[in-house]
Amino acid sequence: MSGILQAPAGPQFALWAAVLASGVYHGLNPAMGWPLAVSNALMTRRGGALVAALGYLALGHALAVFAVMLPFGLLAALLAWQSAIRIGASALVIGFGARLL
């Protein structure tokens, strides 16, 4: 039981704690816009409006997460192909240099 409550060592714990705190703040802060969308849907007094508002919120959130995570995914792919890219770039530079000679 005590192993569950033990905090992981290293700088990753601070990073994940900051991510968690940011998520809690984002979810609880009324200035983020979700209470306005939900209250507007509830004021229309239609059940479908609330489902639509929550759907739009989920879609917007998914698009925002995708927009933020896309560069990290591209960077990970670039790092995976790093040696092949270096070899290809080196071959191009050597080839163009040999052509100019």
Residue ranges per structural domain of the chain? 2-100
| pLDDT exceeds 60 at position 5 | no
| pLDDT exceeds 70 at position 1 | no
Q: Band of the pLDDT at 27, cuts 50, 70, 90?
A: confident
| pLDDT exceeds 90 at position 54 | no
Distance (Å, rounded) from C-alpha 33 to C-alpha 8?
34
Task: Please give the average per-residue pLDDT across 13-42, as a whole number.
Answer: 78
Residue 7, pLDDT score: 57
- 17 phi, psi to nearest 5 deg: -65, -40
